[in-house]
Structure 1
Amino acid sequence: MEECPGVRVKLIGRLKNTKTAFHVDIGIGDVVVPKPVARAFPTQLEGFMEPVVLSYPLESIVSEKLDAVVSRGELTSRMKDFYDLHYLAPHCQFRCTGTAGGHLSDVSTSGYSYREAHGGCGEAPR
């Protein structure tokens, strides 16, 4: 599976005497099927607004993780994909159907068939 280009931004969050290092990965040029969704991230501190960012829809996340697990098989070192799928299954609603409407089978065929036809990553035709 080809990795699409992106940017990793490394940041340090500070709150009084506490510092926390973290990173944000930003994907560039990957096909997102269905369209990206605005997602609010709750804060743990009162008085702070929830940041809202565009992200992959749940169907794309599950489809990409399933593909990584199946295509890499025993060679995968990405145990986080197994954990994420284990967590998402009971906590989120998604369907695996062959009908149009942004379900898992639509996502898996749309993104990957575009990559095969166009030699890798890129923006999906509109």
Structure 2
Amino acid sequence: MTKISLVLLLLLFTGYILCAGCSSYATPELTIVPTITQVNAIPETNTITYDVNLMIENTGSNNAYNVEIMALVSTPKDLPEYRFTHENIHIGTLEKHTSTSAGRQMSLEMTPDNYRRLSSGERQAEVETRVIKVSSNVMG
């Protein structure tokens, strides 16, 4: 009887250890640093084209799979006639403690007054990023 109790106790302890490892699962931690550069301005359509570059780093302890980032370029929010454009950028797999970069050209159409301010350099367009999709392995 004591041998059976000892085996059951050992099984219970092993199960606890295995469950404790799974419950300490950590999601990937992605850090995104965006930069934006004006590359073209078309006065006839009040459109400015920007190079948007993203530096993405996985600082977490798990790999990140199927990563997708949304980049949003906009006029400054305090200007009249707020305008924006966005694009979803597929990154793919980003292993733990690694980084990658991605770039896109994005065009932003705006009002004539905002175009004058942004094309002259008086004001700068804003860029925001957000992780919209990521999955990870459980074991780390």
Q: TM-score, structure 1 length as denominator?
A: 0.24
Structure in which a larger fraction of residues adopt strand: 2
Higher relative contact order (CA 8 A, sep 6+): 2
Between structure 1 and structure 2, the one with the greater Rg is: 2
Structure in which a larger fraction of residues adopt helix: 1
